[in-house]
Structure 1
Amino acid sequence: MEQKVCIAMVPCPGLSHLIPLIEFAKLLVLHHNNFHVKFLIPTLGPPTPSTKSILNSLPPNIDFTFLPQINIQDLPPNIHMSTQMKLTVKNSLPSLYQAINTILTSSQSEKNNLVALVFDVFSSDVIDIAKKFNLLSYFFVTSSAILLKFCLSLPKLDETVSSEFMDTTKTFDIPNSKVSFKVKDFPDPVLFGRSSETYKAFLLLCQRFSLVDGLIINSFKDLELDAIKSMKDFHNVYPIGPIIQKESKSKENLSKCITWLNKKPKKSVLFISFGSGGTLTNEQINEIAFGLESSGCNFLWVLRVPSKLSNSAYFSGNHDSDNDPLNFLPLGFLERTQNQGLVVPSWAPQVEILSHGSTGGFLTHCGWGSSLEGLVYGVPMICWPLFAEQRMNAAILTDIFKVAVRPKIDEEDWIIKGEEIARVIKIIMDQCSRDGEGLKLRRRIEDLSVGAGVAMSENGSSRIALSNLVLKWEEKVITQKLKCFPHMN
């Protein structure tokens, strides 16, 4: 009889962290049907309808439990989003301990064989639970291998480098790698400064990477070979990506978008979306509208109610039923562009849009999930980072992968002007010039798209990495059985 293996996964709050773990779990059980996955989900307030819908559609060998809600009033006020996520998980540890204990004492054999905890980087306190139950522990990294390399280097950098490390006018080399970044593109917590509690918490997280049994990365070897090779001397690294959604979980605006795209020429449409949590100011919305109109490019724009806080929709989705986002567009914009563009409120089926033949460009906030979707579907990008690690992702897409352009911010008003938006749109959507920048970007990303498919194929590098990880977990089950029944040895 085939031995059942159970893995528990602990995400942190936020759909952009939950969805990659879910897709990983689905990939795992699809190719290794002797596995059972249990999601144990810390929550900050009630789960959103989108979250419930995604979880209720899981296959039978994946199930989930919501841990008791953490009250936002119990957290310190005005803390950074990353600290908020980390504290939500930390405050859920007693409930998590009980949940894992219940799994281990269950009469169901597949759950008795719980061997590992897989958790998000902001769920690092779960390491302590893993050690208490003698379970293997793994970070699931929902960012690039290059960014992970930066995080692994941060503790030593903090000890050895001068104040230039925090000088946003400088460019900094990442140790033992072939890449460098402008300091101003470092992740948010680093830019808060060494004396801030946010930075100290992030540094502690980076120090804890050395405590786990392995690092599971949503990337692939041919995309980030140097970064992955540089980590293998110190960690068990499993690049098992690109793992993306095969279809959008919400069908909101699906028919409307696809019907409209079907009427447009091949690769003629620019898709504009700022992910599940990004928002813009009203002034910036006006500038985008001006840039789109003056560019003459076909566009499909997902628009949210404006906010001065760029991540205001991160936890809630910002589906503001009292305000129609379209009311915030410049007067007459929709009428003037009715044959040029489509604006949909709040949500659109991103996977179906990016994979559609009429889509030729992607203006994105540079979340890693969206970046991978652009890569997989071979759509060159305009980088518009908003928060978290998105500025570093933007630098990776433009300077290292060379599949994107990045508009310049007007440093007087700290917005991106309409003229600049029109300029980068014309670069990315140019299909006429044989030697133009747009064509080079398109050829480069099409090559990477092919490489992504090869990595995920049956004998590809990512499938091999997943098989190596599975073997580790299966060996743990056998070891546990031998300890319980030494006469079997």
Structure 2
Amino acid sequence: MESRRPTALVVDMFGIDALGIADEFNLLKFVFITSNAWVLAVMLRTPEMDRKEINEHVKNRKPLNIPGCKPLNISKIYYAIVKMSLADGILVNTWDEIEPTSLKALRDAKKVPIYPVGPLVRPVKKSALCNEIIDWLDKQPKESVIYVSFGSGETLSSQQVIELAWGLELSQQRFFWVARPPTENDAAGSFLSLGNGSDGTPDYLPDGFSARTQDRGLVVPTWAPQVEVLSHPSIGGFLTHCGWNSCMESIIEGVPMIAWPLHAEQKMNANMLTEDIGVSIGVTRVESDGVVGREEIRSMVGKILMDHQGRNIRSRIKELKNSAAKALVQGDSSYNSLSQVAEICIHQHLKTKVSRG
């Protein structure tokens, strides 16, 4: 730190406690929000939702009362949010055109400078690991395949996995499914080592599923090179859990989505994609046990790939794809926003250099 002193420290929203290092070494401090501006607005607003209640909690150390929940001591969470608002700026993985209202509200609040710098995703990079997948996709017609993935950290129940399999089969559409073992299955390792039937179907999928869908479906274990898959011309839709990174990757590649959120801010993301931006359709029918049934899945896949609604969404997401690319071009919104951060850092560097002689 002394020999090659940096000018600024950037942490994500889970590393806010590290901002104390920036104070110790007199560095600029920035927080990078990997989600969107709407989520950030909620986070920054939370400590003010009931000032009297929070004062009692922080000053008098009384438990925080949350309707419908037992009293909870979460002073550390609020402390982290307050620390974030004291940063020199917050970088957000979004851009002006996709969230104009939320970004305007954040800027008008003038609590902390906001810098939309997105969309930021990993670039497409072909590797030997995805040859088999890409070879299969190369054989499929343009925009004919629904890509199904719930991210690298999400799992479904056994019942939901079975309903998803039946829904994909009943849709009669081409699919590429990253099928992680269900929640109740503790087995690890290779996908095909999980107790397959005679036709190679894993034991938690319907009997004969692999044989019945082998002419139009590909199922792989645990992981796939998502950016490479979404960039392939045969992909016509993405059934996603609505993690923000996945949403960004889908928008950048112009792939319409089926929004199936599971937890955390994913429900907010799904609402934005479906109701505000118009680049996805959402799950509308859920059974009493919380499972999305096969008929609903069949219907959603058909809509996104074949129906008029899917064509409208595809047209809208192509527009947003162009907007996303434009935002990163020199002279446009996100490029300019990140340039402002760079200028602040340069100014701070020169100021520090002068003060140190």
The interval holding the TM-score normalised by the smaller chain is: 0.7 to 0.9
Q: Confirm whether residue 143 of structure 1 aligns to residue 20 of structure 2.
A: no
Q: Is the 8 A contact 1:298 1:340 kept in 2?
A: yes
Matches of 2:238 and 2:20, distance apart in 1:
41
Which AA in structure 2 matches 1:225? P
Matches of 1:401 and 1:215, distance apart in 2:
23
Q: CA deviation at 1:387?
A: 2.4
Which one of 66, 79, 88 corresponds to residue 204 of structure 1? 79
Q: Confirm whether residue 320 of structure 1 aligns to residue 207 of structure 2.
A: no
Q: Report the CA distance shift for 1:283/1:250 in structure 2 as closer, same or farther (over 3 A).
A: farther
Q: Report the CA distance shift for 1:194/1:477 in structure 2 as closer, same or farther (over 3 A).
A: farther
Q: Confirm whether residue 115 of structure 1 aligns to residue 17 of structure 2.
A: no
Q: Confirm whether residue 341 of structure 1 aligns to residue 217 of structure 2.
A: yes
Q: CA deviation at 1:192?
A: 8.9
Q: Is the 8 A contact 1:305 1:324 kept in 2?
A: no
Aligned to 1:18: none
CA RMSD of aligned residues (A): 2.3
Q: CA deviation at 1:269?
A: 0.2
Q: Secondary structure at the match of 1:215?
A: strand
Q: Is the 8 A contact 2:191 2:221 kept in 1?
A: no
Q: Report the CA distance shift for 1:321/1:470 in structure 2 as closer, same or farther (over 3 A).
A: same
Q: CA deviation at 1:356?
A: 0.7
Q: How does 1:3-42 map to 2 (within 5 A)?
A: none
Aligned to 2:152: 276
Q: Report the CA distance shift for 1:401/1:324 in structure 2 as closer, same or farther (over 3 A).
A: farther
Aligned to 2:354: 482
Which AA in structure 1 matches 2:334? S
Q: How does 1:44-443 map to 2 (within 5 A)?
A: 104-106=1-3, 111-112=4-5, 114-159=6-51, 193=69, 195-197=71-73, 200-233=75-108, 234=110, 235-247=112-124, 252=129, 254-308=130-184, 320-321=189-190, 324=193, 326-408=202-284, 410-430=286-306, 436-443=308-315
Aligned to 1:450: 322
Q: Is the 8 A contact 1:319 1:346 kept in 2?
A: no
Q: Report the CA distance shift for 1:251/1:296 in structure 2 as closer, same or farther (over 3 A).
A: same
Q: Is the 8 A contact 1:248 1:350 kept in 2?
A: no
Aligned to 1:459: 331
Q: Is the 8 A contact 1:115 1:473 kept in 2?
A: yes
Q: CA deviation at 1:136?
A: 0.9
Q: Report the CA distance shift for 1:399/1:201 in structure 2 as closer, same or farther (over 3 A).
A: farther
Q: Report the CA distance shift for 1:193/1:398 in structure 2 as closer, same or farther (over 3 A).
A: farther
Q: Report the CA distance shift for 1:319/1:355 in structure 2 as closer, same or farther (over 3 A).
A: farther
Q: Report the CA distance shift for 1:140/1:455 in structure 2 as closer, same or farther (over 3 A).
A: same
Q: Is the 8 A contact 2:36 2:244 kept in 1?
A: yes
Matches of 1:281 and 1:146, distance apart in 2:
30
Matches of 1:260 and 1:442, distance apart in 2:
23
Q: CA deviation at 1:205?
A: 2.9
Q: Report the CA distance shift for 1:127/1:302 in structure 2 as closer, same or farther (over 3 A).
A: same
More displaced 10-residue stretch of structure 1: 408-417 or 292-301: 408-417
Instruction: Give a deviation string over 1:321-362, Cα, whole Å, max 9, x none.
Output: 587463422110000000110001111111111011110000
Which AA in structure 2 matches 1:223? I
Structure 2: gaps (5+ residues) = 54-65, 195-201
Q: CA deviation at 1:264?
A: 0.8
Q: Is the 8 A contact 1:155 1:203 kept in 2?
A: yes
Matches of 1:398 and 1:201, distance apart in 2:
34
Aligned length: 336
Matches of 1:282 and 1:251, distance apart in 2:
32
Q: Report the CA distance shift for 1:241/1:262 in structure 2 as closer, same or farther (over 3 A).
A: same
Q: Which has the higher contact order (CA 8 A, sep 6+)?
A: 2
Q: Secondary structure at the match of 2:7?
A: strand
Q: Report the CA distance shift for 1:364/1:331 in structure 2 as closer, same or farther (over 3 A).
A: same
Q: Secondary structure at the match of 1:394?
A: helix
Q: Secondary structure at the match of 1:469?
A: helix
TM-score between the two structures when normalised by the length of structure 1: 0.65
Q: Is the 8 A contact 1:117 1:138 kept in 2?
A: yes
Matches of 2:154 and 2:67, distance apart in 1:
20
Matches of 1:280 and 1:442, distance apart in 2:
27
Q: Secondary structure at the match of 2:90?
A: strand
Which AA in structure 2 matches 1:452? A
Aligned to 1:88: none
Q: Is the 8 A contact 2:287 2:293 kept in 1?
A: no
Q: Secondary structure at the match of 2:118?
A: coil
Q: Is the 8 A contact 2:191 2:222 kept in 1?
A: no
Matches of 2:347 and 2:143, distance apart in 1:
48
Q: Is the 8 A contact 2:92 2:114 kept in 1?
A: yes
Q: Report the CA distance shift for 1:193/1:256 in structure 2 as closer, same or farther (over 3 A).
A: farther
Which AA in structure 2 matches 1:272? V
Q: Secondary structure at the match of 1:129?
A: helix
Matches of 1:319 and 1:212, distance apart in 2:
42
Matches of 2:254 and 2:155, distance apart in 1:
25
Which AA in structure 2 matches 1:241? G
Which AA in structure 2 matches 1:150? V
Instruction: Give a deviation string over 1:409-428, Cα, whole Å, max 9, x none.
Output: 53421111111111111111
